[in-house]
Every structure is written in C-alpha cells, then in structure tokens.
C-alpha cells in the first residue's frame, strides 16, 4: 500500500470464523475526504464519519462487516462513536480523527464486546502489508476481494494510490453497502482531495448498478499521507491532473470489479447514451436502461432484444425529440429513428455475449453523453437475496 | 359477457398453433373510452386507438398477440390502420369505429396476410359466448387467462361489467403489454365513461408492478352498449356510484390476477404507505418499495428483512421527517422511528409467507395514503425473460 500507512484485519467473531474487522491507520495525521450515501436512511457510522471527515483531516479508518449498524437509533450512534474512540485510544489519536464504517445486516445492534476486543487486537497488529487482509475483512456477498494499486509521478517522485472496496453495487448491494477506501502517499490539500474524490467517484463508482437499491451505508473515503515526499498539490496544474488521473483509474478498476462480482453477475455491460440535451438527461436514460430487469435478463440470455432498450428509454422520463432513438449493440446498428433496421441476428447475438457487452443509445436532441456499467440478472441474484439472513 | 356484445378468436398463425387474434364487437355503436401507456415509445396500434377512441364512440376492438407492432415506423402505422379498416369492412362499420391492439415482440412487422385472413374469419364467427376465447387469444407469457364478470343494479335493471386482460404487469410485462378490455351493458355517456375508466385504472391496474418496465403497448379500453335497458348515466348520483364500483371491482380483480400470474411470481404482496404529506408522495414510496429487487427477493424467500424496506423508503426521493418511518409486516410492528423494535422473528417470518403479504410503511408527515400490489422475484422471472425470443 502507499507509504505512510499500515493496516490489519482480525476475526472479531461478528461473523463466524472469518476476518470481519479492520483498521487502516496513517503514521501521522492525513488530509482526508469522503463521499457518502444519498439514501435518507443513513446508518450510524455514516453520521459519525461525515462529522469527523468534515475537518479535512483524519488518522485512521475502522470498519466491521457482519452488521451495518443501521436503523439502530441512538444506541447505534453511541456504538459508532465508541468504535472511533476505542480505535483512537489504541492508536494514540483523537476520536475525531477516526472514520468509522460498518456493513452487513440492517437493524441489528453491534456486538460491542467483540468489536472492542477486535479493535484492540487489530490496532496491535498494524503492518505495511495488511491491505489485502482489509480487502478480505470487508466482504459480504462479494465472491472475491477487490484491491488495486496505481502508480504515477508527481514532481519527479513516484506516488501511489491504493484502494480496497466491497459491494455488489454502489446502488444496491445486498443489505448494505458499497465501501471504498483509498490511500495515497501523494501530498494533497484537503479541499483539493475532496474535489478529486468527488470527481473520481462521479465518473466511476456512481456509474455502476447491480440492482438499483442504494444502501444506507455507502461510503468512499480517501486518506493522503504525503509520505512520498512529492510536492503538495494545492490546486490546478500538471501534478493535480496526474493525481486525479491515478485516483480515477484506481476507482474505475474497483468499480468494474464490483460490477463483475455483482450478485449473480455473469456478464459486464456498458450502457452509453449520446446526443442528449444535457449530461443529466444522458445519465438518466443510461441508468434507466442499465437498471431495467428486462434489459438485464436479456443480457443474461445473450438475447439482442433491443425492443426492451427502446422501451426503457421511453419510460425514462427524458423527452425524446422527433429524431427518435438509434440503438447500437457493439458497433451493430439495430434501430434507427425508434424503428427496426435490417441487421444480422447472429451478429447481434454475438454482441450480447461479448465482454463487455456494449449498448449504445443515440438520441438526436443535443451533444451530451453519459454512461453506466451494469451486469446481467441471473438465478444467482435471486439465490443470494432470497435467503440472505435465513 | 354483457348484453349487446359478441366476440371470437382464431388461430391466425401469428404464433404457432394457438389463438392469437380476436375481435370484440358491439351490435351497435357504443360509448367508448381508453387509457394508454405513459411510455414515450408508443406502438402503432396505440397511436391509432388513441385517435379513434377520442370521439368517445366505437363499435369493435381487434387485437393480436405474437407481435407488438412497436418500433415499426410508418409501415407499422399503416398496418395498424389496415387492421382497423379490415375489421370495419367485415363488421359493416367505419374504420374509425374500430380500436386496435397488438402485443408481443417489439421491432417485428405484422405478418399482414395472416392478420387479414384472421380478421375475416374472426368476424364471421362472432358469438355471445366468445369472451373466454378472447381472454385466451391475448396471452403472451401469462400462464392462464384472466376474465371477470361483475353484476350490479342500475335503475332497477341488472347491469354487467365484463373484462378480460393479459400481462405480467401494467408496468412491465415481458415485451409488451398489459391489455385490458372491459365491456358493459350499462348506458353511460362517453365523458362519464372515460372518467370512470380513468378512476378505476388509477386505483387498480396502475397500482400493480411486476418489474417496473412500462411497455410500449399498455392499453385499457371500455365499450358500453346500454343494452341492459338501464337509464343512461350522465353524471353523479347513485347510478353513477354503482357503475363505478362495479367497474372498479372488475378492474381490481383483473389487477390481482395479473400480479399473481406475474412472470415467475409465487407470492402476492400489498405495500401500503400511510402518513405521507400527499397522495403522490405515498404512491412514490409505495412504488419504490414494491419495485425494489431486494424487497421482492426477500418476499420470495419469506425473509422479514425490513431493513430493505427502510432502505427503499430512504432512496425514494420523498423526504421523511424527524418522526422517521414505522414498518409493519401484517400487523406486526418491526420498526419505529426508523429503528428496530423488539419483535418475534418467527411471527415476522409467518407474515412474509402469508397470502397476501402485507407490508405497511407509516410516515409521520401527513395523512395521505397510497399503495401498490406486487409479487416476488424468483428464478422463474429470469427463466422467462432471459430467453423470451430465442
């Protein structure tokens, strides 16, 4: 992981026999930023982390799986605060410098005895190579850990951006949650760091969907240690661009890993919308297509059923002008002006089993574009979600 | 079926070896009304029927399954007009008195030779007891026909409201379409008929969801023959109320049949929202919960996973006040003020396998209510939709 950080994970017993509690700690106070769920029903740790990160500085992240600490009322808030305080004591910093995350079932209280003991052990085992354990400790219905490291050069120095994530969707994961934690040894002013995180998430993690169900706990955090020795990025310029590109690349890779590991997913698809009046219009259309159960089951079946794409565009709420809608599967043109064109059905089928599946919707109403990444809808999704708690 | 109507269906060969084309004909010109899909991508028959029904009078409905005649451009519009004209010639009325519907795959042109021949044969076989054949002829992925007859008294006369429907959802069905055709031998002024249909659909067929995918062809039509001899309903009063109640009851029963026969459905659920600021707010919350794939898979698994209900309310876009959300499964109180309350897990499970499953969300922001009917999300949905066309 990037210089200036250590991490560890332990099996605290919140879940049976697996890593379920982790700490990422900086050697010294860091610039920090976060983006959080848009769901009104926010979990207690989101309330606490939002408050702590507002200062633009932090020292550590403490996270547990197995229990989302959501819909837990005032006692949940007390537990989230205590997680931060316990980690702070063990790490020798202020509670307000610790960011807290939880993921798992909603409506259960944290088993605080196990959490306290887990935090103490985790804090005592911090190591430079602990990042992979963190990636494993935060998983819920994910089938494999998601970890990324991107390098770039800033001011002649090598700089790293590392990231771990969990979730079957930003918008959606099973019960609770996309979590993404980035660390970097770049030196970045807090305001710049926050803008860079917002931009990276907006172009990547906010463009993925598995089932459209935004969670109560979605959180992306970044800590910047500056330990690379590179000059501090205070504003626009080449260094800023290099850092933002590295962060966006890391976030992009995690986003794709999440969709590919989406609950029951067997295919990865990009839905791209062009020719919209505004970027927001393009995004709404792309999201409606990407979330349509009929489109997602067609992708599952490799069925070039573009009529479902057209129907999804039609119900998106975005007005389509007289030019109608053109639809492409990969580079194959299958509909023009909202009506069928002659095309080869076998070629269309091949596009629907390509990796990635590329669906392109062209409006004739402007020049704005947008896109979403999605996966197919399979038996596996039903299996995972019909019996999650039982 | 109600007095003054005859019907028939034939196997025209649009689909292999089954009834796929039907006519409902009135003995004389009738009052008529229709409501149509809100999808912008409207099918050709919707364009034609909307135009023809605008006059408030009609003589017949002609409908085919197997091909939606949607996304078929100007040739599709010509075909829909020709269907009306062909039926009109056979029935001895004006083309503008014939309403046209199609359901099936989007983006295919109608096989007009088969359609023409089918219309001629169907028109020659009209019979008083043909309604059940119509119910069978319009099915696509439905597993059984949907037919209803409700009786009431108006001005001392017995009056009937009959209905047939198809679809796995108003919002959704597989490729294209909820179709619902009502006939009545009540005498109703066209304006009153239209208002009654809008009200009945708004309280019933517009409150069902299978997968949230509004089709290009959704249509509900009503023809009122007046053949019962009951006095004409021109405006408010007891007769009007009796008629509206009968129509709403017929539409309610068809709505429930559609959801219970929803693609892959194994359970029927009612999502009720109380205490909202406005009826629209209540409806939006109810729809968000009812369409949530996570809620629908929980219903499938009989899992009293109310955290998913809370999360769906939270992302509905409707602001929830400081009182938070109370959630009931059947009569069991499982969450208060957006936080868990103590409840018996076995009792909660029993509520999730009840028929119907009753989910009640209570806000504390006003006194408006709303509701939706939905079904669970199962392997069957994926099976039906991943390979519909192949």
For residue B274, list its beta bridge partners. Answer: B362
Who contacts A266 (Cβ-Cβ below 8 Å, separation ≥6)? A300, A375, A376, A378, A380
User: Which domain, by its residues, includes B360?
Assistant: 268-386
Quick one: pLDDT band at residue B22, thresholds 50, 70, 90? Answer: very high
Same domain, A135 and A241: yes
Query: Residue A344 burial by CB count (10 A; 0-12/13-18/19+): exposed, middle or buried?
Result: exposed
DSSP state letters, A26-90: EEEEEEEEEEE---SS--HHHHHHHHHHTTSEEEEEEEEEEE---S-HHHHHHHHHHHHHHHHHH
SS3 for A230? coil
CA distances from A36 to A152, A178, B285 (A): 27, 10, 22
One domain, residues B84 and B222: yes
B136: CB partners within 8 A, 6+ apart:
B9, B18, B19, B145
d(CA A96, nearest CA chain B) in Å:
25
Domain C-terminal end among B260, B293, B311: B260
**Are B255 and B303 in the same domain?**
no
Last residue of a domain, one of B244, B260, B276: B260
Chain B interface disruption, residue of A332, A385, A389, A390, most B CBs within 10 A: A385
Per CB-CB distance under 8 Å, the chain A contacts of B108 are 340
Q: How many CA atoms lie within 13 A of A105 on its CB side?
A: 19
CATH number of domain containing B113 = 3.60.70.12
pLDDT at A32: 96
Do residues B187 and B279 both lie within one domain? no
- A246 lies in the same domain as A342: no
Does the beta carbon of B248 lie under 8 angstroms from any beta carbon of chain A?
Answer: no
> Is B215 part of the contact surface with chain A (CB cutoff 8 Å)?
yes
The reply to whether residue B310 touches residue A71, judged by beta carbons under 8 angstroms, is: yes
How do residues B27-66 score in pLDDT, each as one tens digit?
999 999 999 887 778 899 999 999 999 999 999 999 999 9
Residues of A in Cβ contact (< 8 Å) with B315: 38-40, 213-214
Are B205 and B297 part of one and the same domain? no
Rg (CA), chain B: 22
What whole-number percentage of chain B has pLDDT above 70?
95
Query: Do residue B209 and residue B336 come from a single domain?
Result: no
8 Å CB contact between B307 and B315 = no
Same-domain check for residues A220 and A194: yes
* CA–CA distance, A102 with A104 (Å, rounded to integer): 7
Same domain, A76 and A180: yes
CATH of the domain at A320: 3.10.20.340
Which whole number is the average pLDDT over B124-149? 93
Domain match, A331 and A252 both? no
Is B297 an annotated catalytic residue?
A: no
What residues form DSSP beta bridges with A31? A57, A224
Domain boundary among B207, B228, B260: B260
B382: β partners: none
* Contact state of B175 with A307 under an 8 Å Cβ cutoff: yes
Q: Mind listing the pLDDT tens digit for each residue in B264-273?
A: 889 999 999 9
**pLDDT tens, chain A, 390 aa long:** 999 999 999 999 999 999 999 999 999 999 999 998 877 788 899 999 999 999 999 999 999 999 999 889 999 999 999 999 999 999 999 999 999 999 988 888 999 999 999 999 999 999 999 999 999 999 887 888 999 999 999 999 999 999 999 986 444 433 346 899 999 999 999 999 999 999 999 888 888 876 666 667 788 999 999 999 999 999 999 999 999 999 999 999 999 998 888 878 899 999 999 999 999 999 999 999 998 888 999 999 999 989 889 989 988 889 998 899 999 999 999 999 998 888 999 999 999 999 999 999 999 999 999 999 999 988 887 777 776 554
Give the closest residue to A238 by CA, choosing from A153, A151, A149, A162. A153
Which residues in chain A (316-355) have CB-CB distances under 8 A to chain B? 319-320, 325, 335, 337-340
**What are the chain B neighbours of A381 within 8 Å (beta carbons)?**
293, 297, 382
Does residue B237 sit in the same domain as residue B288? no
What is the interface pTM, i.e. ipTM, of the complex? 0.75
**Cβ contacts of B211 on chain A, cutoff 8 Å:** 293-294
Q: Is residue B36 a contact partner of residue B42, using CB atoms and an 8 Å limit?
A: yes
The count of C-alpha atoms lying within 13 angstroms of the C-alpha of B10, restricted to the half-sphere facing its C-beta, is: 19
State the pTM of this model. Answer: 0.81
Structural domain count, chain B: 2
* Residue from A307, A321, A390 whose CB has the most chain B CBs within 10 Å, to mutate: A307
Are B331 and B223 in the same domain?
no
């Amino acid at each position: 992981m990037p210089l200036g950080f250590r991490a560890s994970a332990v099996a605290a017993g919140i879940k049976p026999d697996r890593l379920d509690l982790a700490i990422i700690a900086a050697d010294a106070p860091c610039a920090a930023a976060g983006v959080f769920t848009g769901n009104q029903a926010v979990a207690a740790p989101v309330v606490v982390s939002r408050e702590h990160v507002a200062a633009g500085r932090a020292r550590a992240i403490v996270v547990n799986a197995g229990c989302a600490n959501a819909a837990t009322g005032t006692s949940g808030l007390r537990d989230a605060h205590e997680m931060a305080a316990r980690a702070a004591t063990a790490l020798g910093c202020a509670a307000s410098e610790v960011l807290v995350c939880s993921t798992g079932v909603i409506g259960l209280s944290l088993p605080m005895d196990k959490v306290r003991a887990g935090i103490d052990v985790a804090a005592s085992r911090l190591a430079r190579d602990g990042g992979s354990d963190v990636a494993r400790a935060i998983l819920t219905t994910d089938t494999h850990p998601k970890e990324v490291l991107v390098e770039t050069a800033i001011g002649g120095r090598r700089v790293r951006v590392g990231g771990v994530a969990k979730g079957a969707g930003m918008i959606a994961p099973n019960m609770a949650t996309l979590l993404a934690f980035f660390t970097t040894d770049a030196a970045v002013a807090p305001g710049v760091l926050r803008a860079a995180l917002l931009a990276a998430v907006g172009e990547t993690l906010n463009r993925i969907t598995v089932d459209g169900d935004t969670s109560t706990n979605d959180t992306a955090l970044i800590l910047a240690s500056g330990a690379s020795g590179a000059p501090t990025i205070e504003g626009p310029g080449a260094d800023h661009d290099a850092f933002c590109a590295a962060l966006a690349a890391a976030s992009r890779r995690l986003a794709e890993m999440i969709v590919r590991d989406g609950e029951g997913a067997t295919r990865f698809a990009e839905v791209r919308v062009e020719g919209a009046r505004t970027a927001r219009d393009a995004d709404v259309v792309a999201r409606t297509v990407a979330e349509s159960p009929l489109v997602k089951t067609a992708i599952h079946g490799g069925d070039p059923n573009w009529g479902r794409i057209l129907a999804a565009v039609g119900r998106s709420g975005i007005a389509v002008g007289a030019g109608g809608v053109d639809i492409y599967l990969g580079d194959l043109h299958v509909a023009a002006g909202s009506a069928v064109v002659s095309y080869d059905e076998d070629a269309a089928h091949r596009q629907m089993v390509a990796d990635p599946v590329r669906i392109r919707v062209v409006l004739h109403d402007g020049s704005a574009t947008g896109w979403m990444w999605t996966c197919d809808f399979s038996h596996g999704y039903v299996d995972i979600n019909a019996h999650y708690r039982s």
